[in-house]
Amino acid sequence: MVQKRKKTLSDFPSGRISALPKKLRSLYGDPAGQWLFWCKRPKTLVEKERIIIESILTQRTNWKNVRAAMDNLQNAKITTLTNILHTPREELESYCRPSGFFRQKTERLLSISRTLIERYGKIKAIEKEETFALRNILLSIKGVGFETADDILLYAFERPVFVIDEYTRRTAEDLGINRNLPYETMRNIFEEALPRDWRLYQDFHALLVIHGKEKKG
């Protein structure tokens, strides 16, 4: 008969999750400034729009390519969703090209810009929208799935919604959680293990990405 020790909180996945932010923070420091500027606080309205644009461009693509596409847009003075709507599709495609999937991403930038501007008028007005009403609107847009919607909610609109991405799943796997669980299931696991705090979610998720990249290099 095997001697069993008493289970502690850290024996459960949620316990291991709740202990991670401090640990990663001690390893890598403040993620703001390291991980582009998504964790920077506070953000201007233009910076929030930039996050919306980047959340589309970064789909299944490395950050260097996203940066190249963003530089193209910046040089063309396209920094807002309204600017996007006033730019010919072909021109947008030429700017988005370095980020890959450029025809799809151009279409997605146009559709998210159209939907948000038509419904809210200005980005400022979106800040008053209730979180899950906004989430459902984002998810109704072609080209915006769970991860992109939650990137926007967490980093642009500072809502306590935890982002599940490749790095989150790898970390979950390390903690003994099945990495193939459905998105919403995985999100619930992380959110229930943590206080409902968008600042914590931003920094923790950014640290997961930093940690994930570190391990590979």
Partner DNA sequence: CACCAGGAATGTA
Partner DNA sequence: TACATTCATGGT
Binding stretches for DNA (CB under 7 A): 35-36, 38, 55, 58-65, 68, 97-105, 141-149, 151, 155, 163, 165-167, 180, 182, 206, 209, 213, 216
- Residue 88 Cβ, how far from DNA at the closest point, in Å? 17
- Using DSSP's 3-state secondary structure scheme, residue 61 falls into coil
Nearer to DNA, 59 or 87 (CB): 59
Nearer to DNA, 15 or 97 (CB): 97
Would you say the C-alpha torsion 77, 163, 147, 123 has a positive or negative sign? negative
> CA Rg, the chain, in Å?
19
- Residue 55 Cβ, how far from DNA at the closest point, in Å? 6
Structure tokens of 45? 């309205």
- Residue 122 Cβ, how far from DNA at the closest point, in Å? 24
* Integer CA distances (angstroms), 160 to 14, 45, 96, 153, 154, in order: 17, 19, 30, 8, 6
- Using DSSP's 3-state secondary structure scheme, residue 194 falls into coil
- Residue 13 Cβ, how far from DNA at the closest point, in Å? 19
Structure tokens of 31? 């993620």
Nearer to DNA, 17 or 209 (CB): 209
Nearer to DNA, 101 or 120 (CB): 101
> Strand locations in 89-198, DSSP E?
none
CB–CB of 156/173 below 8 Å? no
